[in-house]
Amino acid sequence: MSVARPNSYAPFLVRFTPVVGALPGGATVATLSIDYNGDGVDDVINPAPGTPLTYLATQPNLYAARLTVVDSNHVSYTAYAHYIAADFKRQNGMLCDVYGYLKQRLTAQDTAGALNAIDPHAQDEFQPLFSNNTSTLPAYVANLGNIVDGYVSDRNANFIVVRQNTDLTLSGYQMEFSQGADGTWRISGM
């Protein structure tokens, strides 16, 4: 069985495609059933051809969908497909924590620590900014602003950061995050 998109943020509609190869001894499929959410209860049995096989994953979780095929010789076969419904609020909070870590390290004038929050591909851009202005980093941090809105996808995030100017007007800029091959999220642009 395959899942069209194995991860997204809850709630999301998961689409399944049962794949049944040739059965031994010329047997045919007698029963095909799918448990979409891994609760041990078959959600669909012998769906009509062309029926959309979907499940709305409303709760964040790692799911193990199960396909069970019983052939005309009463032999049972089982296959699993895993998918993740991620928690958007948790992800959003974690990204805000990365930004908070950057600000904390800069306030402490720890440029090496601050660079840990920056994507390795962008560190060359930020290192001179952080290193050449060590004594003014706390003032720099005070002008960075606060995250007010954003968009998070599976591998990227774009946030809007707003700061108050000395004339009491507001200005903003975009902050980008990306997830590295090791799964770690870091700031990739601002």
Using one digit for the tens of pLDDT, what is the confidence trace for 94-111?
999 999 999 999 999 999
Q: Which pLDDT does position 106 carry in this prediction?
A: 93
Q: Is the pLDDT of residue 26 over 80?
A: yes
Q: How confident is the model at residue 3 (pLDDT cuts 50, 70, 90)?
A: very high
CATH for 2-86, among 2.60.40.10, 3.60.10.10, 3.30.420.40, 1.10.3720.10? Answer: 2.60.40.10
pTM of the predicted model, to two decimals? Answer: 0.69
Q: How confident is the model at residue 166 (pLDDT cuts 50, 70, 90)?
A: confident
Segment 18-24 shows an average pLDDT of 93
- The CATH-assigned architecture of domain 88-189 is Roll (3.10)
Give the Cβ contact number of residue 167 at 10 Å: 5
Q: Where are the domains of the chain?
A: 2-86, 88-189
As given in the structure block, the two tokens for residue 176 are: 């980008």
Q: Is the pLDDT of residue 131 over 90?
A: no
Contact present, 73 and 26 (Cβ < 8 Å) = no
Q: Is the pLDDT of residue 81 over 80?
A: yes
As given in the structure block, the two tokens for residue 103 are: 């600000």
